[in-house]
Amino acid sequence: MKRLHVFILKSFLGPFLMTFFICVFILLMQFLWKYIDDMVGKGLEWNIVVELLFYASLALVPMAFPLAMLLASIMTFGNLGENYELVAMKASGISLFRIMRPLLFIAVGLTMFAFYFSNNILPKTNLKFGALMYSVKRQKPEMIINEGVFSNDMDGYSIKVDRKSRSSNLLYGILIYDHTNNQGNVSVTVADSGYMKISEDKKFMVMTLFDGETAVEENPNERGRDKRYPFRRTRFGKQVITVPLRDFEFKRTDENMLRNAYRMMNLGQLEHSEDSLYTDFNYRVRRFAISMRYNDALNRSVVELTQPVDSLRNYQVFKADSVVDVAEVYSRLDPMQKDEIVSSALNSARMNKQIIDQNVFELYNLKKNVNKYSMEKHRKFTWSVACLIFFFIGAPLGAIIRKGGLGMPVVVSILMFITYYMVSISGEKFAREDMWGMSQGMWFSTFIFLPVGFFLTYKAANDSGLMNIETYQHNLKRFFSFIINLKNKHVKAAHADTSADQ
C-alpha cells in the first residue's frame, strides 16, 4: 500500500507544480493588463519592474492554489482512468477513498499552508506591493512631445512642436514659453528645428535648437511722464538650453503610510481594527438617532435606549399614558392653532429630512468600510478552504471523465473555477451591501460547492456514469421508447373501443 501511495503522490505532485506556475503566470498577465497604463512611460529600472512583478506574483498565490489543486486533481485521476490504472486498483479491492487518502493529506496540508500564507506572508507582500505601486504611480513620466500640442511636463516651460521626424529624433517648428519667473508669456523662443534628450541621470533636459530667435519683454521703466516697455530679441544659429528636472527620480513611498489598509493586516490586526471602526460607527449612529426631532417623551426614550449597554441599568421605553383620538382633538382647535400645529409639524419633518440626507450617505460609507475589514478576515479562510473543496471536486471529476493531459481537464477546470469565482463575488457583494449577513455572503460559495464535491465523490466511488455520454444516450432511447409504446397503447385502445361500438 505504501508503494501505491508513493505512486499516487508522484502522479499528483508533477502536474500540481506545473499547473501552479501556469496559473500564477496567467493571473500575472491579468495584473499586467490592469496596471500596464500606470507602468508605461515612467522610465523604471529593470530591478524595480522585477520587484513589482515578484510582489504581484506572491499576492496571486492564494488564488492560484485552489485552481492548481482543481486542475492537478482532474489531470491525475484522469490519467489514471484513461490508462485503466484506476480500474486495476478498484479490481484489486482498493476503494476510491483509499486511493484519494494520500492526496487528501496533501489537500489538508495545502489548506493549512494557504491560511498561514494569507495571514502572515500576504499582508507583508501587499504592503510592499502597495507602497511600490504607489511610488510608481507618483513617478513623473518622461518628456513626451506630441505634434501640435503644448506639453507642460517640464516645470516652468510650455513646449509645442509642429512636426516630428519619423526617421530621427529631430523636431521641427519648435515654440517654447519660459514661465520660470512666473511673469506670464514674457519670454518666447522660436526655432526652426532641434532635438531634446534627458540626461542619463534623469536630472536635466538638454534642448539643442537651430535657426531661431528669442523674444523677451523686460520690466517697464518710467522716465518722467513716459512709461517705456523694453523689448529684447536675440537671433541664434544654435542654442543649447539645459533645464533641471524635478520629481523625475524614483522615490520610494514610506510603507508606514499604508499599514492601516485592510489588505495589509493579519487576522489579529483585522479584528482590532474592525472592533474600533464598529465602535465609531455605533457612536455615529447614536448621534444621528438623537439628533432627530421627536416629542419630548420620545426624545428621552431614544437617548436612553442608545446609551452604551450596561447590564445594571433599567431601560425605560416610551409608552403612551393614554390613547388619544388625534383627529377629534385637532377638529376642536381654532384655525390659528391648526395652522400653528401644521407649520410646526412641517418644520420638524423638513428638519428631520435634512438630517437624514446629511447622515445617510456618511453612515453608508462608514458601514461599507467596516465590512471591508470583516470581508478580508473571512476571505483568509474561504480561499484556504477552497483548496480542500476543489480537491473533492477535481479528484472525482477526473475519475469520472477519465481524460488526462491538458485538454478536457483544462476546460472543465476553467469552467468550474469561473463558476466558483462568480458565485463567490456575488456572495461578497451581498455581504458588502448588508443584504446578507457577513458569514452567509462570504461563505456562500463554500455552502454550494462543498456538497457538490461530496456528491461527485460519492458518484465516482460508485462508478457512476455521470459524465458518460453513452449513459445519457441510453436513457434518452429508453425515454423515447417509453413514449412510443405509451402512444401505441392509446392507439390500440382507441381501435378496440371503435370496434366494440360497431
pLDDT computed for residue 43 by the predictor: 60
The packing angle between helices 2-39 and 96-116, to 10°, is 40
Q: Are strands 226-228 and 171-178 parallel, antiparallel or unpaired?
A: unpaired
Q: Mean pLDDT for the chain?
A: 79
Whether 117 and 57 have beta carbons less than 8 Å apart is answered as no
Q: Hey, where are the domains in the chain? A: 2-139+381-461, 157-244, 259-374
Whether 303 and 318 have beta carbons less than 8 Å apart is answered as no
Whether 233 and 186 have beta carbons less than 8 Å apart is answered as no
Strand arrangement of the beta sheet that strand 187-198 belongs to: 157-164, 171-178, 187-198, 204-217, 231-244
Identity of the amino acid at 138: R
Give the lowest-confidence range in 19-28, 227-236, 446-455. Answer: 227-236
**Element (H or E) spanning 63, and its range?**
helix 61-82
- The DSSP 8-state label assigned to residue 92 in this structure reads T
Distance CA 395, CA 193 (A): 69
pLDDT tens by residue, 276-299:
888 888 888 877 777 776 666 666
pLDDT computed for residue 38 by the predictor: 62
Predicted confidence (pLDDT) at residue 469 exceeds the cutoff of 80: no
Contacts of 91 (CB under 8 A, 6+ apart): none
Distance CA 202, CA 154 (A): 12
Q: Which residue has the higher pLDDT, 135 or 324?
A: 135
Whether 193 and 171 have beta carbons less than 8 Å apart is answered as yes
Predicted confidence (pLDDT) at residue 151 exceeds the cutoff of 60: yes
Q: Looking at the whole model, is its pTM more than 0.75? A: no
The gap from C-alpha 217 to its chain's centroid, in whole angstroms, comes to: 55
